[in-house]
Structure 1
Amino acid sequence: MLKKTSAPEISIVIPCLNEEENARAICDAVIAEVEKTGCSFELIFIDNCSSDQTVSIIRSICHRDDRVKLIANTRNFGQMRSPTHGIYQAKGRAVINMCADFQDPPALIPEFIRRWHEGAKIVLGVRETEKSGSVLTACRNASYALQRKFGDYPIIPNATGFGLYDASVVRAVEALNEPEPFFRALLVETGFPIETIAFKRPERAGGKTKNNFFSLLDFALSGLAGSSRGLLRVPLYVGFVTLSVTVLSFVGAIWTALHGLSPLMWLFAGLLELQFGLLFLFFGLVGVQIRAISDRTRGTPLVIERERVNFTEDE
């Protein structure tokens, strides 16, 4: 069995779900690329309750090479929480996060590490193109537009989280204690400078993608909700606009009455607008209060682990 060092320079975290066709291949490819750099490393697979042989395959790899580690979750905790938990368990001075299906090319790893050695705190891979249908493309563009409009901080389009993060960045994100961590947005929230590397997205090596329209929509909405205080204030803005229109309606009622005309329609419109304005104002205040409560009560564990392999007692 190959022995690991106690304090690796680089940690590579690979989330997986039903990746029995890719697990061994991605492990070999990643190790080959990291060994080119001469850095000590650990390779952490975090499995989100696979129903195939993924865990068994990775466990057998761990028994041969204890630089490779496994975290197996008790259930599927989603695309945000599970990968982030794996990143938090990493002990390296820098952490690389990537997919198991080769859509994030391992060949970029040496370049990530080179830039980190030159002083970069965050280096993200950015896909030049997204091969998807017109509906998914439109939804993705709409998601980016909403994030730019209402998000507290901008995200980088076509950056999926594939990249390298200095340990100081990981600890800063962890300190935010976000229960539904939209990690690539949280990276921006930390304020650390971000370097990017453009790459062409390769074809998936094997198996089937777990993403469909509804999973991507849920991911986008969760990310927007988790990283946007401005979105919660939208009802407040609508309420203020509606109340402004209410004032105009009452002014119109007064004007028609002064000119001997019936003000009933103006009064009816004004009262209706007043009700809607107050309702949206109330919803907006409740939304802001809910966000404030959430900020004060974060503490939900990201995942519950079923098994760990090749971790020491203090890890």
Structure 2
Amino acid sequence: MTQPEISLVLPAYNEQDNILNVIETSCQHLEQINRSWELIVVDNCSSDKTAELVQSIVDQRDNVRLIVHDENRYYSGSCQTALNESRGKWIAIMDSDGQFSAADLPLFIEKLQAGANLVFGWRKKRNDPVFRLFSSSVFNTLGKFWLSIPVHDLNVGIRMFDQKVAEATEFRHRLNMANPELYTRVKIAGLNIDEVVVQHFAREHGHVCHDFSKIWKLFWDVNHYLKTLSQELKAAKKSPPHQSVENTEVDARKVA
């Protein structure tokens, strides 16, 4: 089977009200890019009809695939599946809630062609409730404190990278975040990181997975997660290339 140039992966959890439109519009944008592509939906053990709806499209399109987890592996687990299953020269992972658009992929490709290995999106103009803006501000501040992350948007739901990043990355921490660990693995590998401004739309259907009634615990657990990644990054800098960094995992239940 010929390797596609682009793999677009959509992690999905209970997105039955959004997924069909996201797939349809994403396919349209991918076709306009005029490069070979595949679209993969990773269903993270949804309890609604997400997988069933996606399968109806898979039956009609050869370049759309569905992978269904038999248990919830958290967002980072879905991203790991994306790394394992994607065949593209460039891999994009985009949330399936309709807040991002595959129309922005050419912007990412331009950065990758210019020498970046990993490109994060940046929601410079966001369409989110005040509370989500506040929580993201806290996450970004913590990310800069612990990891000196140079990008503006720590928890953005769209990013694109090349096969070097896929080969260098293994998500060891199972939780509903992925970008900080992705950044850490890429930093350890000595690869190049960039960002690009993307469109951001208001969520029309569904809700976020985080339990915001436990927000202070969430902040505490994210802080612990970032601190752990910081320790891994420092250990990697001190270790000779042939030595592996100790795998210190964060309990997924703590940041769910």
Calculate the TM-score normalised by the size of structure 1. 0.64
Structure having the higher helix fraction is: 1
CA distance in 1 between counterparts of 2:111 and 2:82 reads 23
Q: What do the CA deviations read for 1:272-308 (whole angstroms, capped 9, x no partner)?
A: xxxxxxxxxxxxxxxxxxxxxxx535699x9xxxxxx
Q: Where do residues 244-283 of structure 1 align in structure 2 (5 Å cutoff)?
A: none
The reply on whether 1:227 has 2:234 as its aligned counterpart is no
Mapped partners of 1:207, 1:13: distance in 2: 20
Distance of 1:68 and 1:132 partners within structure 2: 30
Identity %: 23
Q: Secondary structure at the match of 1:103?
A: coil
Alignment check: 8 A CA contact 2:101 2:199 kept: no
CA contact under 8 A between 2:16 and 2:48: conserved in structure 1?
yes
CA distance in 2, matches of 1:95, 1:84: 12
Per-residue CA deviations over 1:180-201 (Å, capped at 9, x if unaligned) read 3753223432232222222342
Distance between the aligned counterparts of 2:124 and 2:22, measured in 1? 22
Counterpart contact for 1:9–1:41, Cα < 8 Å: yes
For residue 194 of structure 1, what is the aligned residue in structure 2? Answer: 193
Q: CA deviation at 1:96?
A: 0.4
Contact 2:142 2:226 (8 Å CA) reproduced: no
Where do residues 16-165 of structure 1 align in structure 2 (5 Å cutoff)? 16-149=12-145, 151-154=146-149, 156-159=151-154, 160-165=156-161
Structure 1 CA distance for aligned equivalents of residues 208 and 178 of structure 2: 20
The alpha carbon displacement at 1:126 in A equals 0.5
CA distance in 1, matches of 2:128, 2:23: 27
Q: Give the 3 Å change call, closer, same or farther, for CA 129–179 of structure 1 in structure 2.
A: same
Query: In 2, distance between residues paired with 1:108 and 1:216?
Result: 31
Unmatched 5+ residue regions in structure 1?
233-294, 303-315
What residue in structure 1 maps to residue 206 of structure 2?
A: 207
Give 1:45 shift: 0.4
Q: What is the CA RMSD across the aligned residues, in angstroms?
A: 3.1
The question of whether the paired residues in 2 share the 8 Å contact of 1:180 and 1:226 is answered with: no
1:179 aligns to 2:173 (yes or no): yes
Residues 25 and 81 of structure 1: is their aligned pair in 2 closer, same or farther, counting only changes over 3 Å? same
Q: Report the count of equivalent residues.
A: 233
Cα distance in 1, alignment partners of residues 111 and 230 from structure 2: 36
Match of 2:246 in 1: 296
Q: Separation in 2 of the partners of 1:220 and 1:127? A: 21
Are the counterparts in 2 of residues 34 and 110 from structure 1 also a CA contact under 8 Å?
Answer: no
- Looking at structure 1, the residues matched to 51 and 114 of structure 2 have their Cα atoms a distance apart, in angstroms, of 36
- Alignment partner of 1:35: what SS? helix
Q: Structure 2 length normalisation: TM-score?
A: 0.77
Offset, 1:229: 4.1
* In 2, Cα distance between equivalents of 1:18 and 1:63: 20
Q: CA deviation at 1:127?
A: 0.5
